Structure 1
Amino acid sequence: MIKRLFKFNSSRYRLWQENAAFAAAIPQGALVLDAGAGEAPYQSLFRHTRYESADFQKVNKPYAPSTYVCDLKSIPVEDNRFDFIVFNQVMEHLPEPKLVLNELYRVLKPGGKMIYTGPLFYEEHEQPYDFYRYTQFALQYLFNTAGFSIERIDWLEGYFGTVAYQLNGMARYLPYRPSALGGGVASYGLAPFMLLLKIMFAFFSIVFHLLETRIKFTASGYPKNYVVIVSKPASTG
């Protein structure tokens, strides 16, 4: 039980919620593209659809089998193929996001919708393919420039989720060995204090992750991720 709690991540909880809501609104048999699917963690939500996926599969990590192994700037399908697109936690890894958004716009049918999620506040990951973090204003600019209509832009998780992530990072990364604290007599006095802080931060990270699942607090602070729902205008002429 304790081990499961330490692995719990409220951002993944919110990601599942948002993708489940998006999937629930998709009609039976609609054609869905999971763009940059990775391990395809949300594929099971789209069992009622015709699900296809695309990824370049160059990062050293596990991947689910992809329908299209390709650069997202050039997906080998015809125009207006997909009814819906899933685009989760991908755009920060794209060196040329405008080109990818143009391509996603091309392959989405007029009237089709896409869900985007991506970080504002997160450590570097999947190196060397980690390039950007996006504010809500950058997202508005990029999606509008590509031709999409923004239906909703929101915090993915509330500030409690951001705090939980910060606390977790401090619990993992704060040094506590005397050799990492400069050596000398003072470092031996500081080391147990730092270790105690790490334990406290780990505990309170769990508390805030659990709070996030019950309360989405957005009155102040800032999000860890944004979620955006966009559509391709029904008339593109």
Structure 2
Amino acid sequence: MTTASQFSSMSAATGAMPWWYWNRFVLQRLREGVERELLGLDLPEETPLLEFGCGNKPYADMATRYGYCYEGADFKDNKHADIVIDEAGRVDCKDGTYPVVLSIQVLEHVPDPGAYLREVRRLLSDGGRLVLSTHGMWEYHPCPTDYWRWTLDGLEKLLIDNGFKVESKQGIVGLMAASVQLFQDSVRRRLPRGFRQVFVFLCQGIMSLLDRMQGTNSKNRNSMIYLLVASVER
């Protein structure tokens, strides 16, 4: 399945990103979406939540702020991890341990998404929810590998095929803003450092304006990131 060197998550999605950060707008929109979904679950205080592929735990503060009992799982070489994922991509936890599993920008880096999702399903309690995001359109970003991109239909099918029921789905950052992000990323490294920061700041501002012009249906067809909530029933 997965090896330790093949499992990672996106860079920190905190509110303290500098004004010139290259994907500031996308990360802000993603964070807002995850926040809405976690609040919308309306679960009791101290509900256990596992971030499966926690990276540097960019969502730990959010989860604990809203009353979840947060734990992060990743491979043993990740010093931030509370729980170790073994070389087979499994964790040493009983079936049905967690009412909520969070998987943010991990799935595109996993060689076998089906096996990953089956382990998530094993970890979820009856009626438990997976909050999952991954890429539609994005530049190649090995961390250390980068295997997959999805349409919303394809991602939903993948979840259903692995025993999940999709409860909600949405595209985050539509095609017009995506075109600016991809243009920015294709040229920014060629620019002098000082001008690069101004260029990125302008591109991120343009993305914010353009994304307001696209509706939900348009973003569901073409988006940089897809965010879904799916449940399991035993």
TM-score (norm 1): 0.77
Q: Does 1:52 align with 2:71?
A: yes
Does residue 142 of structure 1 match 2:148?
Answer: no
Tell me how far 1:127 sits from its aligned partner: 4.2
Deviates more, 1:137-146 or 1:160-169: 160-169
Distance (Å, rounded) in 2 between the aligned partners of 1:26 and 1:215? 34
**Aligned alpha-carbon RMSD (Å):** 2.8
Deviation by residue 1:30-54 (Cα, 9 ceiling, x = unmatched): 0100011101111111111111111
Q: Please say which of residues 163-172 and 24-33 is displaced more in the overlay.
A: 163-172
2:139 touches 2:182 (CA, 8 Å); kept in 1? no
Q: 1:69 aligns with which of 84, 92, 96?
A: 84
Check the 8 A contact 1:160/1:217 in 2, yes or no.
no
Report which stretch shifted further, 155-164 or 81-90.
155-164
1:223 match:
223
Structure number with greater Rg is 1
Q: Distance in 1 between matches of 2:93 and 2:200?
A: 46
Following the alignment from structure 1 to structure 2, what is the Cα–Cα distance between the partners of residues 201 and 68? 40
How many corresponding residue pairs? 208
Call closer, same or farther: CA 1:167–1:217 in 2, change over 3 Å. farther
Aligned to 1:37: 54
The letter for the 2-side match of 1:5 is: W
Shift of 1:201: 6.2
**CA deviation after TM superposition for structure 1 residue 57, in Å:** 5.5
Any gaps of 5 or more consecutive residues in structure 2? 1-16
Quickly say closer, same or farther: Cα 1:45–1:100, change in 2 above 3 A. Answer: same
Which residue of structure 1 lines up, in the alignment, with residue 3 of structure 2? none
Give the 3 Å change call, closer, same or farther, for CA 36–127 of structure 1 in structure 2: closer
Percent of matched pairs sharing the same residue: 24
2:207 maps to which of 209, 212, 226: 209
Aligned runs of 1:1-237 on 2, under 5 Å? 4-7=18-21, 9-24=24-39, 25-47=42-64, 48-56=67-75, 63=78, 65-71=80-86, 73-173=89-189, 202=200, 204-211=202-209, 217-218=215-216, 220=218, 222-233=222-233, 236=234
Could you say if the C-alpha distance between residues 208 and 43 of structure 1 is closer, same or farther in structure 2, counting changes exceeding 3 Å?
same
1:102–1:40 Cα change, 3 Å: same
User: Please, which runs of 5 or more residues in structure 1 have no aligned partner?
Assistant: 177-195
Using the TM superposition, give the Cα deviation of residue 139 of structure 1 relative to its aligned residue in structure 2, in angstroms. 0.9
Q: Secondary structure at the match of 2:223?
A: coil
Q: Return the alpha-carbon distance in structure 2 between the equivalents of residues 20 and 110 of structure 1.
A: 23
